[in-house]
Amino acid sequence: MTTAEVLVSVDSVSKSFTGTTGGELRVLDEIELDLRAGEIVALLGRSGSGKSTLLRTIAGLVAPTSGAVRYRGEELTGANPGTAMVFQSFALMPWLTVQDNVELGLAARGLPPAERRERALAAIDLIGLDGFESAYPKELSGGMRQRVGFARALVLEPDLLLMDEPFSALDVLTAENLRGELMRLWAGEEFPTKAICLVTHNIEEAVQLADRVLVLGANPGHVRAEIHVDLPRPRDRRAPAFTGLVDLLYGLLTGREPERAEPEAATPTARPLPAASVDGLAGLVEIVHAKGGRAGLPAVAAELSFEIDDLLPLVDAASLLDLLFVAGADLHLTPMGEAFTTADIQRSKEIFAGQARRRAPLVRTILTALGSSAGGSLRSGFFLDLLRRGFSHDDARQQLDIAIDWGRYAELFDYDTDSGHLRLEAPPEPVSA
């Protein structure tokens, strides 16, 4: 496999965006990646780890801040001519028929109408859409719309097919069916592309489809691990080798990176608060307690019908606060977590307050700032301005909302919606910086 021709190479690519207040938001950090003929590569990572940005960089839709993307050795200066993209949202033109949607990219390439028509019909046929040529997107189910999305990309016969969470807007059965069909096409003679790179946050999907899984970490996006999936196709989800890889990836996605800063020393931007409500994270701690202090993540996700992306912030929050810790794909209750979940409500709040003050950088920063302000009160805009130096507009708001949820529960500070002020609940206590 490693001797196969390199279609696209990503050399030391970094990408920064300009934040709303002019600060730099580093999204990708020194990414190295070769995409070779014959392989399917999955980019797996939690929300915000830069997966979509990396995919768009490979497509030539986003220019790297430093480093280069090459297609067959040629550095890109615009859209990558060897790629076509399938989007999560289908991105179809509602006013065009299936046939016209599929022909769109060919028209852009200047192909004559007769050839466009012929190639579009072949792609429509290949992806199981024949009979729907003159239908409009709104007449189609989600699964059929995504087939149009596939046909529109495949008709271009790209060397490399790029897919950004192509199945995540579909219901479970439709997604499974379409994944299966894609794999049958991939194994067949007529499939017009040489390689696939897909973004997913679904671990099972990555192991089912990919030859190689790159696990991306966040802040900024970087490659944490590369896992080879040498399982025969079609893959059996119940095979021990399959579930073993799923467990390994769960562990990689949830485990803390050794080189990351300890929460005590981290700043609010270096260690953002996970998007978890107190209710959610306390519920998870309670579940692990009910299971005897140890629970497998895949089992918890399945039991709660949670996507890993919904579960990860809860796991992150509980481990940030040292209520749980992750070992491999298992969650373990810590002594602090045990105390938190078995205590009466007032004591639970005190434990939470102590942990949040010590280990959640934004909560600590808010407490410090409120403690040194006149009357222990500051406008929320003050904190939003600070946060926007390191986060996008929406992420800054979300960070503050999480901190307020945590701070209110812990009775550390309150937020007055009418005046827009955060206010200390109790007289200022010394806070170690």
Ligand X SMILES: Nc1ncnc2c1ncn2[C@@H]1O[C@H](COP(=O)(O)OP(=O)(O)OP(=O)(O)O)[C@@H](O)[C@H]1O
Residues that bind ligand X (CB under 6 A): 17, 25, 27, 45, 47-53, 201, 392, 395
Least distance CB 15 / ligand X (angstroms): 8
| Residue 10, helix vs strand vs coil | strand
Of 48 and 274, which CB lies nearer to ligand X in the complex structure?
Answer: 48
In whole angstroms, the minimum distance from the beta carbon of 69 to ligand X comes to 15
**Distance between CA atoms of residues 273 and 218, nearest Å:** 13
Residue 407 neighbours by CB under 8 Å, 6+ apart: 356, 363, 366, 367, 413, 414, 415, 422
Report helix, strand or coil for 426: coil
51 vs 421 by CB, closer to ligand X: 51
Judge contact between 272 and 245, C-beta under 8 A. Answer: no
Which is nearer to ligand X, 53 or 254 (by Cβ)?
53
398 Cβ contact partners less than 8 Å away, ≥ 6 residues apart: 275
- Chain position carrying tokens 């980019």: 43
How buried is 3 (Cβ within 10 angstroms: 0-12 exposed, 13-18 middle, 19+ buried)?
A: exposed
Helix axes 380-387, 393-409, angle to 10 degrees: 130
* Closest CB 387 distance from ligand X, rounded Å: 12
Distance between CA 78 and CA 57 in Å, rounded?
Answer: 10
Q: How far is the CB of 25 from ligand X (least distance, A)?
A: 5
CB of residue 136 vs ligand X: minimum separation in angstroms? Answer: 28
Cα-based distances in Å from 63 to 80, 214, 222, 349, 363: 11, 21, 17, 47, 36
Long-range contacts of 340-343 (CB under 8 A, 24+ apart): 340/282, 340/285, 341/282, 341/285, 341/286, 341/289, 342/289
Query: Listing from the earlier edge strand, what are the strands of the sheet with 294-296?
Result: 294-296, 330-333, 324-327
Between residues 37 and 63, which has the closer beta carbon with respect to ligand X?
63
For the chain, helix (H) and strand (E) counts, in that order, are: 15, 16
CB of 414 to ligand X, least distance (A): 28
Do 198 and 43 touch, CB atoms closer than 8 A?
yes
Q: What are the b/e assignments for 350-389, b being 16+ CB within 10 Å?
A: ebbbebbbbbbbbbbbbbbbbeebeebebebeebbebbbb
Query: Rg for the chain (alpha carbons), in Å?
Result: 24
Q: How far is the CB of 293 from ligand X (least distance, A)?
A: 31
200 or 319, CB closer to ligand X?
200
What is the closest distance, in whole angstroms, from the C-beta atom of residue 96 to ligand X in the complex?
A: 27
Residue (17 or 242) nearer to ligand X, CB: 17
Query: Least Å distance between CB 352 and ligand X?
Result: 27
Rounded distance between C-alpha atoms, residue 87 and residue 387, angstroms: 31
- For residue 305, give Cα distances in angstroms to 211, 297, 326: 27, 12, 20
Q: How far apart are the first and last CA of the chain?
A: 51
What's the min distance (Å) between Cβ of 393 and ligand X?
9
Q: How far is the CB of 239 from ligand X (least distance, A)?
A: 28
